[in-house]
Structure 1
Amino acid sequence: MNYNLDLLKKPFPFQSGTLTLWSNDYIAQNVIKRHLDGSVDSGSRKTDTIHQTVEWIQHLKPMSARILDVGCGPGLYAELLCKRGMYYEGFDISPYQIAYAKQHNSFPERANFYVDDFRTWNSEKKFDLVLLLYGIYSFYCRNDRIAFLKRVKSNLSENGGIIIEVFTPLHYKERTDTVDWEYIEQNGFWCKTPYLELNSFCKYNSSLILVQTAVLNDHLDIWNSWIQTFESSDLVEELTEAGFEKIQLYGSCYAAPLTAQSEILCVYAR
């Protein structure tokens, strides 16, 4: 077997791998299972945390508010928000996630799902609140983040706002660079048949993290997951550059106070 070993070289920041979480049906279904496990923070936040976030959103916005959920996954927020009289629109880059969300849409008259990309999304609609929860904002490079914020700003209603939830550097403070491997005989996350899984965790600098997996069987594939962490001043700077003026800082996606020990940074910006 001939492998492209260049794939194992250290990638440049935000370089894509050859694998995605929607590369095929097998991987995508395993991702959906993680999203639906409400007992842990995995694909999505725990069920209790989602409910707390929805309660905060209800406090911020009236019953008829129009919500845009960026990276909506299987649409776990849709039913909760629609039950409160809101209108929901969610998009995700994974067609598998959107297919699941559409199939389980309990409010077709109030909720809408479609496949789109954070980097190219555009709309003529107006929204009262845009959600970027559980680190979605941190998966992209700065230029893509600023460009998206500017597009969102032009799509907000008069009193519209955006909620962004990211990690602070404290979340990874105790973790060190690691490399490990495991032989998976069958029914692994990435493949049903046997494969060798190589995992690495790497801090590129004080704020950028790479979580990488190499899947080796009859060929070699790489999954790169980039995570940009933020100090509050960094996130405020990006929002200000995009035209946001009123920015409130919190320590969770349900408006807990932000402290010097917070591993979560959440902003509500208008």
Structure 2
Amino acid sequence: MHFTIRQARPNEKDAVLRVYYAGWRAAYKDLIPKDALTDQAIRPHIALNPERSWVAVVDEAIVGTVQFGPNPEDPDGVAEIRTLYLLQEYWGTGIGKKLMQFARSWLASRGYTRAYLWMFTENKRAAGFYQRLGFSDTGESETYTIGERRYEGSKWEAPLQPVPPHHTGPHPFWADPHISESMLRAHLDPETDRASRKPATIRRTVRWLAEQYPAVKSVLDLGCGPGLYTNEWQQAGLQVTGIDLSSRSITYAQAQNPHVDYRVGNYLDLAEENAYDLITLIYFDYGVLSPKDRAILIQRIYRALKPGGAFVLDVLHQNYRLHFFEGVQTPDMGDFFTKDKHTVSKTSLYYPETKNLLEQYDIRTDTETKSWYVWNTLFTQKSIRTELAPFSEVEYFADLTGTPYDTDGTDFAVIAQKR
């Protein structure tokens, strides 16, 4: 079943309330008298906060909701999962579990370390659900009055643990044989820019950089993939080197152009000195790296450049945050991850403190579940200039074809020149 989890919109209050009412009646029909399950009776017990409400959507209809966030009396690092309701016909589909998992992941990405919730002590079905998701009864209780009857509520709590920024897990994306084949196909598809920019843009980039640096004789392309940029540089008569982690991409590139010096390896291990006039790292690869690895890379690139040489890269701008979807999706990605029968769940999160974006793909087959983590980092001119401190001059552009810098853009290009 395909569904989406996203933040509720201001005009969806009535639709969210309908899920609350139906969810209450389904969840508590054996606990609360029927006359206390009308919309009018339920409404006083609902503290709806649209800014903290997230919804599950199936075929454009809201079928579930979760509300969470800190309360004024909560200690630092602690937040409440206020409500979780799902239309009964969607029980057992995994949507309720995903709503709860997303709530915890979102809170963890914002620095919260514990989440708690209150539930009717008699609600054994809910207790089993929360226990399977890692919650435990704290022993604290309170009393609710609904209609003419009093009910006991229990407080349950769970620790929150974020995926650490730039964590790749036990399965590096580029090392999987099937995914590396899928990535190569994506790189070579001229109709899409999912993995590489389209051929016309690549040619414009190489032409523009050649105009900016007419004296360039040697180019190093970091993360060169199947050689789309390196081919253009070599055909322009330059001495070209390409480095990439994917042996599949390098094998393909070597077969296409044996005149380029292609190497399988990690560009963080770059050890040459004063060897290149131009070093490129294109399509936001710089932001994939951790701050520690970025610092190492800058040192090694600076050392590998000849005096007067330039480092060319592009990064995501802080403005990209406004366009970044945060939530859960279940996209149909064909056989990109595996040829086995499977489902894909994609969780997208923003980490405000570190300015990181995470897209986590959970691939579930009949025999296992694997998670793949795709990271990036948001920058401003100031933050990228700080990281490029060794370079004497830094210029900014809207893209790598020379378009003037746009303060409202979602990404930007950078050229840093060595003294």
Q: Normalization by structure 1: what TM-score?
A: 0.89
- Quote the offset at 1:87 in angstroms: 1.1
- Quote the offset at 1:183 in angstroms: 7.5
Alignment-derived partner of residue 192 in structure 2: 40
- Quote the offset at 1:124 in angstroms: 4.1
Is contact 1:183-1:194 (8 Å) kept? no
The counterpart of 1:158, out of the listed 307, 310, 318, is: 307
CA distance in 1, matches of 2:223, 2:331: 30
Alignment-derived partner of residue 356 in structure 2: 208
- Quote the offset at 1:119 in angstroms: 2.9
Alignment-derived partner of residue 142 in structure 1: 291
The counterpart of 1:250, out of the listed 388, 397, 410, is: 397
C-alpha deviations, 1:154-190, integer Å up to 9, x for none? 1111221100111102223133421133688xx5211
Alignment-derived partner of residue 76 in structure 1: 228
- Quote the offset at 1:16 in angstroms: 1.2
- After the TM superposition, which residues 65-214 of structure 1 pair with which residues of structure 2 at under 5 Å, given as runs? 65-105=217-257, 108-109=258-259, 111-124=260-273, 126-181=275-330, 188-205=335-352, 207-214=355-362
- Quote the offset at 1:44 in angstroms: 0.6
- Quote the offset at 1:21 in angstroms: 3.3
Distance 1:149 1:215, change over 3 A: same
The counterpart of 2:406, out of the listed 259, 262, 267, is: 259
3-state DSSP of counterpart to 1:77 = helix
Report how many aligned residue pairs link the two structures. Answer: 258
Bigger relative CO (Cα 8 Å, ≥ 6 apart):
1
- Quote the offset at 1:196 in angstroms: 2.0
3-state DSSP of counterpart to 2:359 = strand
CA distance in 1, matches of 2:193, 2:315: 14
CA distance in 2, matches of 1:196, 1:20: 20
- Quote the offset at 1:135 in angstroms: 0.4
Letter in 2 for 1:208: N
CA distance in 2, matches of 1:219, 1:96: 25
- Quote the offset at 1:113 in angstroms: 0.6
Alignment-derived partner of residue 19 in structure 1: 171
- Quote the offset at 1:9 in angstroms: 6.1
Letter in 2 for 1:92: D
CA distance in 1, matches of 2:215, 2:289: 32
- Quote the offset at 1:23 in angstroms: 3.1
3-state DSSP of counterpart to 1:45 = coil
Is contact 1:64-1:87 (8 Å) kept? no
CA distance in 2, matches of 1:45, 1:269: 22
3-state DSSP of counterpart to 1:229 = strand
Is contact 1:93-1:116 (8 Å) kept? yes
CA distance in 1, matches of 2:262, 2:276: 15
Is contact 2:400-2:413 (8 Å) kept? yes
Q: Normalization by structure 2: what TM-score?
A: 0.58
3-state DSSP of counterpart to 1:158 = strand
Alignment-derived partner of residue 30 in structure 1: 182
CA distance in 2, matches of 1:262, 1:75: 28
Letter in 1 for 2:311: I
3-state DSSP of counterpart to 1:55 = helix
Is contact 1:63-1:84 (8 Å) kept? no
CA distance in 1, matches of 2:174, 2:263: 15
Distance 1:35 1:205, change over 3 A: same
Report the structure, 1 or 2, having the larger helix content.
2
Is contact 1:230-1:265 (8 Å) kept? no
Letter in 2 for 1:70: L
3-state DSSP of counterpart to 1:260 = coil
User: Higher mean Cα deviation, 253-262 or 18-27?
Assistant: 18-27
CA distance in 1, matches of 2:332, 2:295: 41
C-alpha deviations, 1:210-246, integer Å up to 9, x for none? 0110111212211111100111110011001xx1011
Alignment-derived partner of residue 388 in structure 2: 239
Gapped regions of structure 2 (runs ≥ 5): 1-132, 135-159
Is contact 1:183-1:195 (8 Å) kept? no
Gapped regions of structure 1 (runs ≥ 5): none
CA distance in 2, matches of 1:62, 1:179: 47
